[in-house]
Amino acid sequence: MPKNSVFINGFESVCCAGESCEELFEAICTHQSGIKTFSEFISDKQIALGKIEKPFSIEALLGLTCKKVLEQSNLENFENTLLVVGSSVGGMQTTESIFLRDHHYKNINPKLHAIDTIAHILSQKFSLKDDISFSTACTSSANALGYAYEMIAKGVYENVLVVGFDTLSLTTIRGFDALGVLSSRPCQPFDVNRDGMNVAEGIAVLLLQHQPQKESIELMGVGYSSDAHHMAHPSPDGAGALCAMQKALKCANVESCDVGYINAHGTGTTANDASEANAIEALFGSSVNVSSTKSITGHTLGAAGALEAIICVMALQKQMIPPNTHLVEPENKTLNFVKVAKAHTFRYALSNSLAFGGNNTSLLFGLPQ
């Protein structure tokens, strides 16, 4: 079957660092972190989180963000558009709020709890042809983008709307606290003094199509791997991340020396950053610009893959390398960590998403030929 090209023709985001993708990219390049300290989530403890300050529900914000992307598209209707959602917690926060208010389950709607809650909400707002939801922890929306890539490349669909979404769930926050990986300050990915991550909420929406438009960026390759080293820790040598990156490059028929920027998963945890740095060094050495943008956005969990895909797309469009914020002393002395935003001519950008259970996904983006 002939392989179609896959283009990103529209996108928008909302997170703690900006109400739009333009605000987000500006915040990243000027080191304006959206992370703040909160004391109400865990008793007698302050933690730093990425919370969207919103006057109305995040579900309403989700609908508005999708509407903006769809209305700016070249589509007259969305009846031939597949919806692919990536989320780590689905409607868990809604369930939590009802249970904590009522102290029983009778008013909980199961349709607003499951992972496909987001698809259920959006299907009521837009006449999309069909939907599918992915929940693979922190690779959820990266895998949603990978699935969208395959659907368009194989000619199954011409239009796919990808949504990455996660909200601050008490269950999630306390789960990461139990693992001992939450920081009380904005995280410092790859720094020797890093002490943990910042859980965050976010919305990222991308429209993928088989025909390019003005300023389109191509999704050129996808790579998956599962190292299964440990349920919550990656293989120290970075074998899983290395394999995913190699597969993404092979899928796109691109050499490692041609990649100009890597948006690293870079959570700020000891285990993740060391492992990922080893993987990047093994494949790229010091030849590629590297940054993690989670010190600005926090870790938006299931939404992170889609949010950081948007960051890569904008970096390519603007020919600007996003910097690492709060990186003072890199643990890895080989990698080319960018500390200040810089103009740079490059054609390819790679985005890594690494999740529990050794679930790894790499996405390669490029300027269309």
Reduced to 3 states (helix: H, G, I; strand: E, B; else coil), residue 33 is coil
Q: Got the DSSP string for 180-201?
A: T-B-SSS--TTBTT---B-BB-
For the chain, first and last CA: distance in Å? Answer: 22
Burial of 355 (0-12, 13-18, 19+ CB in 10 A): buried
138, 243, 251, 312: the active-site residue: 138
Alpha-helical (H) ranges within the chain are 21-29, 58-71, 92-102, 117-125, 140-153, 170-178, 239-252, 270-284, 294-297, 304-318
Which of 285, 25, 301 lies closest to 175, judged by CA? 301
Is 21 part of the annotated catalytic residue set?
Answer: no
Reduced to 3 states (helix: H, G, I; strand: E, B; else coil), residue 298 is coil
Q: Which residues pair with 261 in a beta bridge?
A: 289, 349
Is 344 part of the annotated catalytic residue set?
Answer: no
Q: What is the dihedral of CA 184, 189, 195, 201, to 10 degrees?
A: 40
Reduced to 3 states (helix: H, G, I; strand: E, B; else coil), residue 65 is helix
Is 243 part of the annotated catalytic residue set?
Answer: no
Q: What is the dihedral of CA 359, 241, 187, 145, to 10 degrees?
A: -60
Residues listed for the chain: 369
* Dist. CA 357–CA 191, nearest whole Å: 24
66, 251, 299, 312: the active-site residue: 299
Would strands 359-366 and 348-355 be described as parallel, antiparallel, or unpaired?
A: antiparallel
Torsions phi, psi of 62, nearest 5? -60, -45
66, 243, 265, 312: the active-site residue: 265
Could you give the maximum distance between any two Cα atoms of the chain, in Å? 59
Which of 349, 361, 250, 360 lies closest to 290, judged by CA? 349
| CB contact at 8 A, 210 and 5 | yes
Catalytic residues: 138, 265, 299
